[in-house]
Amino acid sequence: MIKIWIAVAATMLPMLTLACDGVDRRRCQDEFRTLVAYRIEAIEGAFGSLFGILPDEIQITFVKTKDPDYLRYGGSIAYDRERATLILPRRILSTKIPHPLYAAAYYWPFYENEQYRQEFPVIEAMDNVLWNAYLQEVAHEAGLTWPHSDCLSVDIERRLPCEMLIAGIAEHIKSVRSPLFNTNRIDIIWPRDFSSFGKRVWRTDQEYKDVQRYGGILLTKPLIDEFGVPRALAYMAGTPFQVDDGNLQTSARRYQNEARASLRAHHGRGSASAHSSAQIPHRPMVAAAIAAGKDEGKTPEAEVQSPN
């Protein structure tokens, strides 16, 4: 198993900012490749082994505003699964990154500290694309896309359950503390008469947003708490949440029960399926991320090594 050795400081403070304006563009690109590697290390340090499911080699490309990939993804950071490529708009090179760069090897400080979150929005953007890459690959193994296709449906009874899954996952991987809400009002958070609910609310209504967010938390949190992030998210990416009987509450409980049965059945079998991502061997994605396009002898962060 590849192990990335990172010499880290004992504390995050003080932290300075660094931007690449006026600096050699190639060096800037190298630093952003290293930043990707540190965020991979940070995510796996916080949640466990996830990225073994990704291809052995991941390319990182920087695109201009007229590049087709820039237009395809609306100028956002993105992961192209078919080409195993992280797409970074070139304008990102002028954004602030932490200094020293190895501060990015810590996951939670950038979500615990609102100042860091506002000062370095590129960190959360990098995390988003890495999580999306993982979920895309797992969903693809199950013959699906991520997000699941129902998230684009005009039918609220198909779209909202799909959005609940995304919201529940996002809440767990981004929030240090769960939001306070009345979990006893399950009749409101998981409406039994979901068909009637869908006919009287719009997606901009607070009721809709509450079901999306709090319903998603109640749906995903028990599974993540019991099985951990890698296995629970792998199951969710490979198994859409759908309401089949017009009753969101019974459908949610059924989804959780089926997830538990599947995850317990796969545990210990040595399966490398999408529903047991912990069994997937770790691959040298981090080393590939650092190495892609790097000039020999121009290592931006000497603390990062990939030993044999």
Q: 5: which DSSP letter?
A: B
Whether residue 302 is contained in a domain is answered as no
Q: Which domain holds residue 198?
A: 149-277
Does 105 share its domain with 166?
no
Closest to 170 (Cα-Cα) out of 220, 95, 96, 105: 220
Greater confidence (264 vs 49) lies with 264
Whether residue 9 is contained in a domain is answered as no
Whether residue 7 is contained in a domain is answered as no
Residue 258 has a pLDDT of 98
Does 47 share its domain with 105?
yes
Residue 271 has a pLDDT of 39
Residue 99 has a pLDDT of 87
Does 232 share its domain with 120?
no
pLDDT higher than threshold 70 for residue 173: yes
Does 129 share its domain with 198?
no
Does 160 share its domain with 272?
yes
Whether residue 165 is contained in a domain is answered as yes
**% of the chain residues with pLDDT over 70:** 79
CA count, 13 A, side-chain hemisphere, 296: 0
pTM (predicted TM-score): 0.80
Whether residue 39 is contained in a domain is answered as yes
Does 138 share its domain with 186?
no
Residue 54 has a pLDDT of 87
Does 157 share its domain with 115?
no
Does 132 share its domain with 162?
no
Residue 22 has a pLDDT of 54
Does 255 share its domain with 190?
yes
pLDDT band at 180 (very low <50, low <70, confident <90, very high): confident
Q: 108: which DSSP letter?
A: T
Quick: pLDDT tens for 231-254: 999 999 999 999 988 999 999 999
CA dihedral 54, 56, 60, 61 (to 10 degrees): -100
- The answer to whether 120 and 35 have CB atoms below 8 angstroms apart is no
Whether residue 297 is contained in a domain is answered as no
Does 56 share its domain with 98?
yes
How many separate domains does the chain show? 2
Does 124 share its domain with 137?
yes
Whole-number Å distance between alpha carbons of 206 and 211: 9
Residue 291 has a pLDDT of 41
Whether residue 70 is contained in a domain is answered as yes
Whether residue 267 is contained in a domain is answered as yes
Does 273 share its domain with 286?
no
